[in-house]
Amino acid sequence: MSSEGLFGMLLETRPIFKNREYLRPSYTPEELPHRDEQIHQLARILAAPLRGETPSNIFIYGKTGTGKTASVKYVAKELERVSDRAPLKVEVIYLNCEVVNTQYRILATLSDTFLKKLKNGRGKEYLNSLGLPERVPMTGWPTDEVYRSFFVALDQERQLAVIILDEIDKLVQKSGDEVLYNLTRMNSDLKNAKVTIVGISNDTNFMEYLDPRVRSSLSEEELVFPTYNGLQLKDILEKRAEISFVEGALGNGVIQLCAAHAAREHGDARRALDLLRVSGELAERMGADVVTVDHVRYAYEKIEQDSMVEVIKTLPTQSKLVLYSIVLLMERTPRRVVSGEVYGLYQELCRHNGLEMLTQRRVSDLVSELDMLGIISARIVNKGRYGRTKEIKLNIHPTQARAAMQGDYYISAIDVLALPRQLTLA
DNA sequence: AATCCACAGGAAGCCCGGGAAC
DNA sequence: GTTCCCGGGCTTCCTGTGGATT
């Protein structure tokens, strides 16, 4: 270690990032390149009620990383900003249905928002006089009571409630469409206030499960967010890089390469930004003061491996066991491994560790699954007289795979030394 | 040309847990 | 609470495969 000590190197090199937060998915950018059209449409639809027209509900569809959430949040923010001067006050409520995924919790959150607003505006006594509580408990109330308190609290003022339901497919999947039915009908009963629902999803199939009335009302206006192409991604990355990286910290071709990778994988901007950030972090860690295309390549590998580790961790025990057999064989003799060997070792592992043993047929399916997940690559080979088999290649480093599986109770308990010698030393 | 290996992978059916319907 | 149904995991049984070997 150098005389400067532990942090010497880190302090000496020029920093790479100005602010890496701008590269994270949680950041909502000031401008969204190549989404002007969608943003204008969205603004036009949402502004209509301000001019006294009946509000339309909006359904937004687009693959992940196409800027749906960012665009909606951006428009919502602008709308709230101008609503002071508008004839109708606007209140935007953003709900991610992956988190808030039941009818009760949605209504409770909406209730609370407007109860709080009312209390701040007119005081506790006013709430009491309407028979409204200060807050709705997290659980316990009958759902229609929660609905009523939301309704009454909302209708006390002339206002427009823009309810954004992100990942709305998750909601329908988990709790059905009853909430949506109630929310879409509200406008006909409200006297002062109006409600607009903005549903966001990356999956249109769920629409089929909706009540036809809900479906048509939810998609009064539809907006599609197409995926970005390579050039557009490059643009987006450049804009972001400007504010997040130190000037001159990005080498030639870095952005192009990140954009190209992401474009190849369905134009997901989130992935592209991730790749750029990880590349920077890697360069930083390696003590470089410029990010190069090599860092990007390395980062790409790292992201791939990391996601694979995640997949492995969530595998069922039997699949892990099969994978573990492949890993063991691979560690001994780094070559292609055939299915017969895998099943043989798998059997031994089960036998010597008191684990349930599956049939060859089933293990063959598990191997195919591992192949589908990209953890291994398998191909069928005919060896003539010596039969027909599957050659298996591991797509992740054996030590990484091992580490990913150690968390599993059954796997960590496996005692390799208990195996017959010819198997462990083959 | 016939044989045969060592599996792949399709078909049918069993079992079990969980959710909907009664 | 019971019954019914469904889907996923699994087994059993089976047919198919293509080139080295006989």
Task: DSSP for A41-106, please give it.
Answer: HHHHHHHGGGGTPPP--EEEEE-TTSSHHHHHHHHHHHHHHHTTTSSSEEEEEEEETTTS-SHHHH
Q: CATH 1.10.10.10 residue ranges in chain A?
A: 315-424
Q: Which nucleotides of B are covered by protein (CB under 7 A)?
A: 3-11
Report the C-alpha dihedral over residues A259, A264, A267, A268, rounded to 10 degrees: -80
Instruction: Measure the CA–CA gap between A94 and A114, rounded to whole angstroms.
Output: 13
Task: Give the Å distances, CA to CA, from A265 to A203, A270, A293.
Answer: 17, 11, 18
- Crossing angle of helices A360-372 and A317-332, in 10° steps, is 80
Summarize pLDDT for A217-240 with one digit per residue, the tens. 888 899 999 999 999 999 999 999
Output the distance from A29 CA to B13 C1' rounded to whole Å: 56
Give me the pLDDT at residue A133, please. Answer: 83
Overall pTM surpassing 0.85 (yes/no)? no
Kindly report the CA angle at A324 between A323 and A326, in degrees rounded to 5? 65
Q: CATH 3.40.50.300 residue ranges in chain A?
A: 35-224
A228-311: CATH number: 1.10.8.60
Q: pLDDT band at A288, cuts 50/70/90?
A: confident
A315-424: CATH number: 1.10.10.10
Output the distance from A363 CA to C10 C1' rounded to whole Å: 10
Identify protein residues whose C-beta is within 7 angstroms of any atom in strand C. Answer: A 316, 318, 357-359, 361-362, 365-366, 382-388
Residue A390, SS3 per DSSP: strand
Task: Give the Å distances, CA to CA, from A331 to A187, A336, A363, A425.
Answer: 66, 11, 21, 11
Output the distance from A344 CA to C12 C1' rounded to whole Å: 20
pLDDT at A328 over 70: yes
pLDDT at A71 over 80: yes
Instruction: Please tell me whether any atom of strand B lies within 7 Å of the Cβ of A364.
Output: yes
Residue A221, SS3 per DSSP: strand
Average pLDDT of chain A is 87
> Could you count the other beta carbons within 10 Å of the beta carbon of residue A116?
13
- Crossing angle of helices A269-285 and A254-264, in 10° steps, is 140
Instruction: Please tell me whether any atom of strand B lies within 7 Å of the Cβ of A380.
Output: yes
Q: Which residue is nearest to nucleotide C14 (CA to C1')?
A: A361
Instruction: Please tell me whether any atom of strand B lies within 7 Å of the Cβ of A51.
Output: no
Output the distance from A361 CA to B9 C1' rounded to whole Å: 9
Q: Which residue is nearest to nucleotide C13 (CA to C1')?
A: A361
Q: pLDDT band at A3, cuts 50/70/90?
A: very low
Output the distance from A130 CA to C9 C1' rounded to whole Å: 56
Sign of CA dihedral A361, A366, A369, A371: negative
Summarize pLDDT for A7-49 with one digit per residue, the tens. 665 556 678 888 888 888 888 888 888 999 999 999 999 988 8
Under DSSP, the state recorded for A379 is: E
Q: pLDDT band at A180, cuts 50/70/90?
A: confident
8 A C-beta contact, residue A202 and residue A63? yes
pLDDT at A362 over 60: yes
Give me the pLDDT at residue A25, please. Answer: 81
Output the distance from A75 CA to B20 C1' rounded to whole Å: 42
Q: CATH 1.10.8.60 residue ranges in chain A?
A: 228-311
Q: Which nucleotide is nearest to A343 (CA to C1')?
A: B7
Tokens of A289: 């003061």
Which residue, among A57, A48, A72, has the nearest Cα to A220 in the 3D structure?
Answer: A57
Give me the pLDDT at residue A359, please. Answer: 96
Name the CATH superfamily housing domain A35-224.
Answer: P-loop containing nucleotide triphosphate hydrolases (3.40.50.300)
Instruction: Measure the CA–CA gap between A387 and A401, rounded to whole angstroms.
Output: 30
A376-382 β-sheet, strand order: A337-338, A388-394, A376-382
